């Protein structure tokens, strides 16, 4: 029984990384921009966060540093694709490649550093409940923040004026422009917020989830987060559910190994990647359904008056 | 303020100048980086641009790295021209190495020399199988090829790791994760004695010519590209976008697999978890910097090899991390994409007040669209 509690706790933890990144990507995709640079952003943010945590000892400063790094890189990406109309796929890819190289370079001296003892965030009384306590109430606050963020984002996109404007920009930038909204500035803001959230997720990996810095440690989570927005048909609640599902798949390997299942570890490590492909296949089969839910101008360049 | 103005037609001059501008920007940033790190920038430039091309031996080393880059980038160029976003060449390269290595490790020393051909063909097939998975899932299930091909890179890495830690591990290898060293007869023949460059170079140059003919002279090559540039026009012309997808993915998978096979049976001579070194990703940059043009790819692959060797030299002689190569590679692609803007647009200086009133569209409150 205790193993189940630990699996649930680990699933929420792993899912949180994916959820925060995917919610960020959802924001910029709702504004019409695909950022294939998520993986690179998260790597650089992981370095920035880890370095900050090593020097300051504060997780929260580390998340802030990750967010800043993510937003700064996303701004470069945004300026290129929004103002210079470069191809979004190619530019995002460039960001991923640059991020991988840059993080490895900057992170070199950090590979030997270790963080001090991690704080525990047990909620009094609730965490003492058998089974449910260790499963749910010993989580890092970021787990709760991710849930709150999901709720807030779902509300904001459907019930607030600014949320509707963001979606208008993603559906039909021409109409939004004709109504007088600064399409490009809104898109840049969305890209930067998305980058900041990816950055928080990256910093969470190196500061809480793993916690250390190894080259390439994001290990495809940025790409899985990108896939998640499609799985979730760009709806925040489904992003969160999908993130937990994938968190569970990632954690399954440790449970199976713990149970003494005789499968080589490499096949267990493959699971989240295979699961991504499988879900992608299942979801994409119905092209019309995807198309009906996808922001209509996703990935397309927009230049006002030209 | 500076304003971008659409050119009447894309500038051919800028299309060729753009990689040079990107290189200049990368070098400039590199100089700043060296200064910030307290290293002599002139020495840094020497490591990257002079040492790697100083001698015949140095050029051979350039070729050893350029061959896989050229082969992979040729396939990617076809993909990107056909608007097929294969970014998983690294995985296709690994499968090529696995297929080739799987045969090579079983060959005895007295096998005929022609076995090399069998091994290389196996590598091509391995790459094609891996790219074929992406093609099937895209074709049958409409699954996004960017994500599928990339996920398959991680799967391929794990597959290789499983093989060299598990069933394929050399029983006399002191428990190191590696296969037996392949018999000498399986080795790709070298061109000059004493230099590591092998006939892979000739294969790569033939592939360059072949791809140039396919892209610019053959009807099928044109069909594949039209499908990418203008899907509607392609359909009107009766060209199948499905066949373009398959052609692009199988060709690039095969070429990446060939590169993996050449690497496994050339410089490496056995399989280890360190077969993948990122050529599949660097080749994306090579393809773009080479303007998706076979001849251009040769030049950009040489440049990228100089970056690799320069990084190694900077590590051994200047105590800089080798990963500085990755920084320069990423910067190069970034600056290239930015300066490519000048192919379609030109910059013009306009005075701000002229636009002030016009640019604000009238906001009609309550109007229903």
Task: Measure CB to CB from residue B155 to each of A226, A230, A274 and give the nearest one.
Answer: A274
The pLDDT-based confidence of A78 (bands split at 50, 70, 90) is very high
pLDDT at position B356 is: 46
pLDDT at position A290 is: 82
Task: Measure CB to CB from residue A94 to each of B334, B361, B362 and give the nearest one.
Answer: B334
**Cα distance from A253 to chain B (closest Cα, Å)?**
14
User: With 60 as the cut, is the pLDDT of residue B108 above it?
Assistant: yes
pLDDT digits 0-9 by tens, A220-238: 999 999 999 988 999 999 9
How far is Cα A303 from Cα A84, in angstroms, rounded to an integer?
9
pLDDT at position B160 is: 97
Whether A92 has its CB under 8 Å from any CB of chain B: the answer is no
In A143-182, the residues whose Cβ lies within 8 Å of chain B are: 175, 177-180
The pLDDT-based confidence of B366 (bands split at 50, 70, 90) is very low
Domains of chain B by residue range: 1-31+322-351, 67-289
pLDDT at position B174 is: 87
pLDDT digits 0-9 by tens, A238-286: 999 999 999 999 888 877 877 777 888 899 899 999 999 999 999 888 8
Whether A89 has its CB under 8 Å from any CB of chain B: the answer is yes
3-state secondary structure chain B: CEEEEECCCCCHHHHHHHHHHHHHHHHHHHHHHHHHCCCCHHHHHHHHHCHHHCCHHHHHHHHHHHHHHHHHHHHHHHHHHCCCCCCCHHHHHHHHHHHHHHHHCCCCCCCCCCHHHHHHHHHHHHHHHHHHHHHHHHHHHCCCHHHHHHHHHHHHHHHHHHHHHCCCCCCCCCCCCCCCCCCHHHCCCECCCCCCCECHHHHHHHHHHHHHHHHHCCHHHHHHHHHHHCHHHHHHCCCCHHHHHHHHHHHHHHHHHHHHHHHHHHHHCCCCCCCCCCHHHHHHHHHHHCCCCHHHHHHHHHHHHHHHHHHHHHHHHHCCCCCHHHHHHHHHHHHHHHHHHHHHEEEEECCHHHHHCCCCCCCCCCCCC
pLDDT digits 0-9 by tens, B176-229: 999 999 999 999 999 888 899 999 999 999 999 999 999 998 888 888 888 777
Q: What percent of chain A has pLDDT over 90?
A: 69
Whether domain A2-115+127-293 has CATH 1.10.3470: the reply is: yes
Task: Measure CB to CB from residue B338 to each of A84, A219, A277 and give the nearest one.
Answer: A84
A189 C-beta neighbours (distance < 10 Å), count: 18
pLDDT at position B212 is: 96
Average pLDDT over residues B138-163: 95
The pLDDT-based confidence of B76 (bands split at 50, 70, 90) is very high
User: With 60 as the cut, is the pLDDT of residue B353 above it?
Assistant: no
pLDDT at position A277 is: 95
CB–CB contact B141 A285 (8 Å): yes
Task: Measure CB to CB from residue A94 to each of B142, B324, B333 and give the nearest one.
Answer: B333
User: With 50 as the cut, is the pLDDT of residue B357 above it?
Assistant: no
pLDDT digits 0-9 by tens, B278-329: 999 999 999 999 999 999 999 999 999 999 999 999 999 998 888 899 999 9
CA angle B209-B210-B211, nearest 5°?
95
pTM for the predicted model, two decimal places? 0.91
Average pLDDT over residues B339-361: 69
| Chain A residue numbers touching B229 (CB-CB < 8 A) | none
The pLDDT-based confidence of A1 (bands split at 50, 70, 90) is low
Question: Which ipTM did the prediction report?
Answer: 0.91
Which residue on chain B is closest to A273 by alpha carbon?
A: B151
């Amino acid at each position: 029984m205790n193993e189940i509690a630990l699996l649930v706790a680990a699933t929420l933890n792993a899912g949180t990384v994916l959820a925060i990144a995917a919610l960020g990507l959802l924001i910029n995709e709702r504004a019409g921009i695909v950022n294939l640079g998520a993986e690179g952003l998260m790597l650089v943010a992981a370095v920035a966060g880890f370095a900050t945590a090593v020097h300051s000892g504060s997780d929260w400063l580390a998340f802030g540093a990750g967010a800043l790094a993510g937003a700064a890189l996303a701004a470069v990406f945004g300026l290129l694709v929004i103002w210079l109309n470069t191809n979004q796929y190619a530019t995002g890819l460039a960001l991923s490649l640059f991020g991988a190289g840059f993080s490895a370079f900057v992170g070199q001296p950090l590979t030997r550093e270790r963080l001090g003892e991690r704080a525990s965030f047990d909620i009094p009384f609730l965490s003492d409940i058998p089974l449910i306590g260790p499963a749910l109430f010993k989580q890092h606050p970021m787990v709760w923040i991710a849930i709150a963020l999901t709720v807030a984002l779902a509300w904001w996109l459907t019930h607030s004026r600014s949320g509707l404007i963001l979606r208008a920009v993603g559906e039909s930038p021409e109409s939004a422009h004709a109504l007088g909204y600064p399409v490009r500035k809104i898109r840049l803001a969305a890209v930067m917020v998305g980058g900041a959230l990816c950055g928080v997720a990256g910093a969470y990996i190196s500061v809480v989830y793993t916690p250390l810095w190894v080259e390439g440690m994001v290990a495809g989570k940025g790409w899985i987060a990108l896939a998640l927005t499609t799985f979730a048909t760009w709806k925040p609640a489904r992003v969160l559910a999908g993130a937990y599902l994938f968190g569970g798949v990632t954690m399954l390997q440790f449970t199976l190994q713990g149970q003494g299942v005789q499968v080589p570890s490499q096949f267990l490590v493959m699971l989240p990647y295979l699961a991504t492909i499988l879900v992608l296949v299942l979801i994409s089969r119905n092209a019309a359904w995807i198309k009906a839910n996808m922001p209509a101008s996703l990935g397309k360049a927009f230049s006002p008056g030209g | 303020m500076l304003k971008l103005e659409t050119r009447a037609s894309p500038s051919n001059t800028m299309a060729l100048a753009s990689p040079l501008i990107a290189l200049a920007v990368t070098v400039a940033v590199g100089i700043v980086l060296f200064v910030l790190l307290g290293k002599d920038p002139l020495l840094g430039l020497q490591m990257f641009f002079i040492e790697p091309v100083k001698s015949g031996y140095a050029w051979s080393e350039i070729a050893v790295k350029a061959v896989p880059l050229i082969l992979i980038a040729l396939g990617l160029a076809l993909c990107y021209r056909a608007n097929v976003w294969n970014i998983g060449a690294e995985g296709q390269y690994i499968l090529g190495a696995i297929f080739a290595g799987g045969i090579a490790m079983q060959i005895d020393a007295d096998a005929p020399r022609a076995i090399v051909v069998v091994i290389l063909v196996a590598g091509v097939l391995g790459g094609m199988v891996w790219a074929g998975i992406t093609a099937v899932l895209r074709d049958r299930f409409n699954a996004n090829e960017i994500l599928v091909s990339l996920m398959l890179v991680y799967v391929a890495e794990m597959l290789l790791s499983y093989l060299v830690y598990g069933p394929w591990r050399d029983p006399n290898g002191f428990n190191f994760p590696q296969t037996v060293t392949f018999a000498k007869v399986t080795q790709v023949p070298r061109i000059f004695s004493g230099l590591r460059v092998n006939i892979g170079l000739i294969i790569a140059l033939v592939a360059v010519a072949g791809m140039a003919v396919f892209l610019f002279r053959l009807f099928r090559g044109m069909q594949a590209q039209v499908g990418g540039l203008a899907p509607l026009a392609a359909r009107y012309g009766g060209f199948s976008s499905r066949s373009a997808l398959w052609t692009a993915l199988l060709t690039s998978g095969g070429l990446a697999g060939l590169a993996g096979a050449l690497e496994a049976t050339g410089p490496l001579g056995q399989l280890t978890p360190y077969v993948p070194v990122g050529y599949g990703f660097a080749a994306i940059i090579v393809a773009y910097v080479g303007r998706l043009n076979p001849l251009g790819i040769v030049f950009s692959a040489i440049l990228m090899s100089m970056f690799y060797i320069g990084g190694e030299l900077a590590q051994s002689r200047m105590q800089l991390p080798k990963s500085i190569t990755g920084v320069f590679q990423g910067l190069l692609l970034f600056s290239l994409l930015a300066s490519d803007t000048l192919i379609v647009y030109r910059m013009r200086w306009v005075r701000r007040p002229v636009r002030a009133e016009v640019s604000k569209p009238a906001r009609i409150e309550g109007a229903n669209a």
